[in-house]
């Protein structure tokens, strides 16, 4: 049984991760932008203390600091899940630059800001883990150029995670980036390869067996190492 901090639990992969963890007895501290967004059946978990909701926007450093100040317990696993696909215009030849910056703010700076804010709580866990949901679309080994703002933001967050793995090894904290698969969510669309249940179940298994040996790596939802 552990304490998991997950960003963006109101829908999609974050919501399903939370559902699995609550059902097996873990404690979840979940962040949302709109506290009214979580499933009604979770009210019981809020009441019995197994689920705590924090309002947090990863764009906003003050909201992250405020959320972190409300957590006075060790955090065993931090899952940076919140993310956006980015602006409509994001090809190299027709770029919405403000939208590109916003995508970096959410997908790249957001996870790092959240890690920094919650480091004291992570350091209080004997074997803390940090997992950032990135995307294979950020892999430098693919030459594809659609959605370049999104791809660049995920490539950059992979580098951030590699850096964190190096810098936090001394604390015994493992840090990895993961690809959740192409998943049927608002972001992935209904034609995606796998269900949100398949993705989240695979990710939970991967997180369970993550040790310092894998730190700094990039893995897919089935637990296989994939190229950066």
CB contact set of 11 (below 8 Å; sequence gap of 6+): 37, 185, 186
CB 32, CB 9: distance < 8 Å:
yes
**Helices and strands: H and E segment counts in the chain:** 7, 9
98 is a site residue for ligand NDP (CB under 6 A)? no
Query: Helices 110-123 and 61-69 sit at what angle, rounded to 10 degrees?
Result: 20
Subset of 111-140 contacting ligand NDP (CB under 6 A) = 133, 135
Q: Which is nearer to ligand NDP, 108 or 125 (CB)?
A: 108
Q: Where are the alpha helices (DSSP H) in the chain?
A: 12-23, 43-47, 61-69, 97-104, 110-123, 148-168, 196-208
The verdict on 187 binding ligand NDP (CB under 6 A) reads yes
How many CB atoms are located within 10 Å of the residue 166 CB?
A: 12
137 with 183: CB under 8 angstroms?
no
Which region, judged by CB under 6 A, interacts with ligand NDP, from 21-29, 88-96, 121-129, 185-193?
185-193
Q: Residue 23, CB half-sphere, CA atoms under 13 Å: how many?
A: 10
- Name residues contacting ligand NDP, limited to 17-76 (CB under 6 A): 33-34, 37, 57-59
CB of 172 to ligand NDP, least distance (A): 26
Can you tell me which of 118, 182, 218, 221 binds ligand NDP, judged by CB under 6 A? 182
Size of the site for ligand NDP (CB under 6 A): 28
* Residue 4 a catalytic site member: no
Which residues lie closer than 8 Å to 166 by C-beta, 6 or more apart?
216
**Does position 216 bind ligand NDP by CB under 6 A?**
no
* Nearest distance in Å: CB 185, ligand NDP: 3
Q: Is 183 in the site for ligand NDP (CB under 6 A)?
A: yes
- Where along the sequence are the contacts to ligand NDP (CB under 6 A)? 7-8, 10-14, 33-34, 37, 57-59, 81-84, 106, 133, 135, 180, 182-183, 185-188, 192
* Residues belonging to the active site: 150
């Amino acid at each position: 049984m552990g304490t998991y901090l997950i960003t963006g639990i109101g829908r999609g992969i974050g919501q399903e991760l939370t559902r699995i963890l609550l059902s097996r007895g873990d404690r979840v501290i979940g962040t949302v932008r709109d506290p009214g967004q979580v499933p009604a059946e979770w009210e019981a978990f809020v009441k019995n203390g197994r689920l705590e909701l924090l309002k947090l926007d990863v764009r906003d450093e003050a909201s992250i600091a405020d959320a972190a100040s409300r957590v006075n317990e060790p955090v065993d696993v931090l899952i940076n899940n919140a993310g956006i696909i980015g602006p409509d215009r994001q090809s190299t030849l027709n770029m919405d630059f403000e939208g590109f910056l916003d995508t970096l703010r959410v997908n790249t700076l957001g996870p790092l800001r959240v890690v920094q804010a919650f480091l004291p709580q992570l350091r209080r866990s004997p074997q803390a883990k940090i997992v950032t949901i990135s995307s294979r679309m950020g892999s430098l080994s693919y030459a594809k150029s659609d959605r370049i703002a999104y791809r660049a933001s995920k490539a950059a967050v992979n580098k951030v995670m590699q850096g964190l793995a190096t810098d936090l090894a001394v604390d015994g904290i493992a840090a990895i980036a993961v690809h959740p698969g192409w998943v049927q969510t608002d972001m992935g669309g209904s034609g995606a390869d796998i269900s949100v249940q398949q993705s989240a179940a695979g990710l939970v298994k991967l997180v369970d067996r993550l040790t310092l040996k894998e730190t700094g790596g990039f893995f897919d939802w089935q637990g296989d190492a994939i190229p950066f």
